Amino acid sequence: MRRGRLVFVFVLLMPALALGESPQDSWDNLSQLTGGQKVRIVLNGGKAYTGEFRSVNETGIVVRGEAGEQVLERQNVRRVSTKGISHRGRNALIGAAVAGGIGAVGGGACDYREVIPCGGTGAAMIGAISAAWGAVVGALIPTGRWHDVYRAQ
């Protein structure tokens, strides 16, 4: 019975395995890149180049890096990735809102219990300080990962 299930699953997966080409296997994907877009290119030997995309054709890709403009031959390219959009501003706002809210609730509790003699302004003071720290922490969260556009087979 168990063997029959394995054969059934294998038969179901065969069409997916037979397609052979993943969406990133096509060199034509590089035509969607725009001039000036930040790219990272990893060569077959493991060496990586980071720079601005210039152009692409059937024989290679042109990138402007620290060493100037370079033409990297298609047969030597293992992977091409683009930098995602950074969301640091959004993360700072979320961090400020969450930490500010928590700080305001905590400050309100201190006011209620009169733990800190703030004259009834503990919620506002602690909420503002917490919001500032939350914004800093939110802005420090790394975003904008690298996404593969092309991978050699």
DSSP assignment of the chain: -HHHHHHHHHHHHHHHHHT---TTS-GGGGGG--TT-EEEEEETTS-EEEEEEEEE-SSEEEEEETTEEEEEEGGGEEEEEEEPPP-HHHHHHHHHHHHHHHHHHHHHHHHHHTSS--TT-HHHHHHHHHHHHHHHHHHHS----EEEEEE--
Checking if the pLDDT of 6 tops 60, the result is no
Cα 68 to Cα 84: distance, rounded to the nearest angstrom? 23
User: Are the CB atoms for 55 and 62 separated by under 8 Å?
Assistant: yes
| pLDDT at residue 42 in the model | 92
Give percent of the chain with pLDDT exceeding 70: 78
If one looks up domain 19-83 in CATH, what number appears?
Answer: 2.30.30.100
Q: What would the mean pLDDT of 129-134 be, rounded to a whole number?
A: 90
Domain spans in the chain, listed from the N-terminal domain onward: 19-83, 88-140
- The string of pLDDT tens digits covering residues 84-108 is 778 888 999 999 999 988 888 887 7
Give percent of the chain with pLDDT exceeding 90: 24
Checking if the pLDDT of 15 tops 60, the result is no
Checking if the pLDDT of 119 tops 80, the result is no
1 confidence band (pLDDT: 50, 70, 90): low
Beta strands across the sheet bearing 77-83: 68-73, 60-65, 48-56, 38-43, 77-83, 146-151
